[in-house]
Structure 1
């Protein structure tokens, strides 16, 4: 059994991946910096542990 949903996109070939990232910048360095900025942005939006629901405790109590 797999944990991938049925509507998962088919794997992309190298040309498709190149096209997909081409709008991120002209050079590899530009593209890597764009991805790093995106990752940093995602990290900033992650909730801290006080904002997460509790997932531990005594089983059966709710």
Structure 2
């Protein structure tokens, strides 16, 4: 989508945001579809509950 890293401290200006959105497609429908596909891709890569590290004791310990 953009070459800009997500952890940039400076907020994006309107021109930069408009440019990033226009890169997603020619129409609003195309852009929404691109975002939906990106979100689906992220969801597929989420770890399951069994794959998450435990940060506290077991549920039985309270």
Q: TM-score, normalised by structure 2?
A: 0.71
Unaligned runs of 5+ in 1: 1-6
Count of residues in correspondence between the two structures = 52
Gap regions ≥5 residues in structure 2: 1-6
Q: Which has the larger radius of gyration?
A: 1
Structure number with higher relative contact order (C-alpha < 8 Å, ≥ 6 residues apart): 2
Relative to the length of structure 1, the TM-score reads: 0.71
Structure 1: 4+ residue segments shifted above 2 A = none
